[in-house]
């Protein structure tokens, strides 16, 4: 079921993946093929029973006593077992259907993969063409450089508004342009503007090349901030995002929070809140101990280890999270990228679920079976588009795209569209839809899962403590 089938939920434009996504449908069809196979096996077993019955010694001995009825019995048994309408032929039909069903699913999946690969090739070719031709256009812009400082205050707001409108109205186009970033740098290499001993084939390679300009990324570690405090148990998804916003607003650069819920039966659950980028303007020569900077974004898109990710693991260890304790990671922007990357990579902690808000995750290869990622993407937010493609439709990830309410992000423009206010408002809408039964089934299951895992709406008497940390980068 796609997002187009749930127009009754205000603002929701599309839902993909999860328990009722395309991948789930493919899995259900494959399960049906397995049922066909098992039916064929049973019928073949019955055919074997019929063959043994026809050769039964007692039945054969009765032939001399009643040759006519013996012949009739033999014919009936053999017909039911191996005749044109018998069990053996029927088993072949069921198994042929199983093969056909599996082949059909494989063909559909192959077509999806082929279409994705074709877009990758076209996006790279377009980016490469732009990169090759760009140097030829630069001389025409040189006369405008002296007036740039005067024009910037006038043009910057207009450019911001135009970019915000383009992202909101044509997100697919923006994704294709981002997906061609490897080709763009490749074209600049061919044109002689850049020099490197390698070629750039995709967005991940482009991000890795840009990250390399920052040199050694250093190591990340966590500093404890204050002492643990008692806090409240979140009631649902909206509370999780409100708590994340609180961590972002109350803490300084690099602040994260680990909340531990201890139920009356002694079982524990942990929720780790990961805010987004602190410094998007970091340059190689301005980099400091901030672990949540532009360089970390590039390393994450490239799929490389990074100080932010390392520091989060250090904080989780210092917070006393055990290797078998269930963990939910909730992240906005770069925090969501780290959360998804930690789940995808595996590691020393039992991360079962992730909630991301405004975070690109499509560059990851996938998530472990049995885990789940709920990804919220605001239509108009540039950041979720920076992986260059849509999130894959899988059982392990549910993606909800929505159009934010006017003013929910606290302003207009590209930065405001990325504000967590849009995501908190969307979470409240999704919970209301779940309560009145209009939510998409994948969303309903994702919200129900958070409750069943004990991360929200825990039993009475649950005690929640909070520990704050600052993640920093050490050279």
Bridge pairing between strands 397-402 and 372-378: parallel
Written as one string, the DSSP assignment of 135-167 is: HHHHHHHGGGGGGHHHHHHHHHHHHHHHHHHHH
pLDDT grade for 272, boundaries at 50, 70 and 90 = very high
- Chain centre to alpha carbon of residue 135: 37
Distance (Å, whole) CA 265 – CA 199: 57
The pTM for the full model equals 0.83
Distance (Å, whole) CA 236 – CA 254: 25
Choose from 166-170, 204-208, 421-425, 441-445 the range with maximum mean pLDDT.
Answer: 441-445
Query: Taking all residues of the chain, what is their mean pLDDT, rounded to a whole number?
Result: 83
Percent of the chain past pLDDT 70, that is, above it, reads: 80
Q: What is the pLDDT of residues 289-340, one digit of tens each?
A: 999 999 999 999 999 999 999 999 999 999 999 999 999 999 999 999 999 9
At 155 the pLDDT is: 42
Top pLDDT among 39 and 269 is at 269
Q: What is the pLDDT of residues 56-70, one digit of tens each?
A: 676 676 767 767 776
Kindly list the strands in the beta sheet with 463-474, ordered across the sheet, starting from the edge strand earlier in the chain.
12-17, 397-402, 372-378, 350-357, 326-332, 268-274, 255-262, 463-474, 219-231
């Amino acid at each position: 079921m796609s997002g187009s089938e749930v127009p009754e939920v205000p603002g929701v434009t599309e839902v993909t993946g999860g328990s009722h996504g395309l991948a789930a449908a493919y899995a259900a069809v494959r399960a049906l093929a397995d049922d066909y196979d098992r039916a064929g096996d049973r019928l073949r077993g019955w055919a074997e029973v019929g063959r043994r019955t026809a050769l039964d010694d007692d039945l054969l001995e009765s032939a001399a006593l009643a040759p006519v009825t013996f012949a009739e019995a033999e014919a009936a048994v053999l017909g039911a077992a191996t005749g044109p309408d018998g069990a053996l032929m029927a088993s072949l039909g069921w198994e042929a259907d199983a093969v056909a069903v599996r082949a059909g699913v494989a063909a559909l999946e192959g077509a999806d993969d082929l279409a994705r690969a074709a877009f990758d090739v076209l996006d790279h070719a377009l980016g490469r063409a732009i990169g090759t031709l760009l140097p030829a256009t630069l001389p025409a812009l040189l006369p405008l450089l002296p007036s740039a400082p005067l024009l910037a205050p006038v043009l910057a707001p207009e450019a911001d508004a135009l970019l915000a409108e383009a992202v909101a109205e044509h997100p697919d186009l923006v994704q294709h342009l981002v997906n061609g970033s490897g080709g763009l740098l490749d074209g600049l290499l061919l044109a002689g503007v850049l020099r490197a001993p390698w070629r750039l084939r995709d967005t991940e390679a482009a991000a890795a090349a840009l990250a390399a300009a920052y040199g050694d990324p250093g190591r990340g570690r966590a500093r404890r901030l204050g002492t643990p405090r008692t806090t409240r148990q979140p009631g649902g998804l909206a509370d999780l995002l409100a708590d994340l916003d609180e961590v972002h607003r109350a803490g300084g650069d690099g602040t994260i929070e680990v909340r531990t819920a201890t139920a009356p039966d002694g079982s524990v659950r942990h929720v780790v809140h990961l805010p987004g980028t602190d410094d998007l303007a970091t340059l190689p020569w301005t980099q400091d101990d901030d672990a949540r900077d532009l360089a970390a974004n590039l390393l994450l898109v490239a799929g490389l280890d990074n100080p932010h990710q390392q520091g989060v693991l250090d904080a989780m260890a210092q917070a006393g999270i055990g290797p078998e304790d269930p963990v939910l990671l909730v992240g906005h922007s770069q925090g969501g990228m780290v959360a998804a990357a930690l789940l995808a990579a595996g590691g020393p902690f039992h991360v079962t679920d992730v909630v991301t808000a405004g975070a690109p995750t499509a560059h990851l290869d996938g998530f472990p079976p049995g885990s789940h990622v709920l990804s919220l993407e605001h239509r108009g937010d540039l950041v979720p588009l920076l992986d260059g493609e849509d999130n894959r439709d899988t059982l392990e990830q549910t993606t909800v795209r929505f159009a934010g309410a006017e003013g929910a992000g606290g302003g207009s423009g590209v930065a405001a569209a990325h504000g967590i206010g849009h995501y908190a408002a969307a979470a409240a809408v999704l919970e209301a839809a779940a309560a009145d039964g209009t939510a998409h089934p994948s969303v309903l299951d994702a919200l129900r899962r958070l409750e069943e895992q004990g991360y929200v709406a825990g039993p009475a008497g649950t005690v929640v403590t909070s520990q704050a940390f600052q993640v920093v980068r050490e050279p």
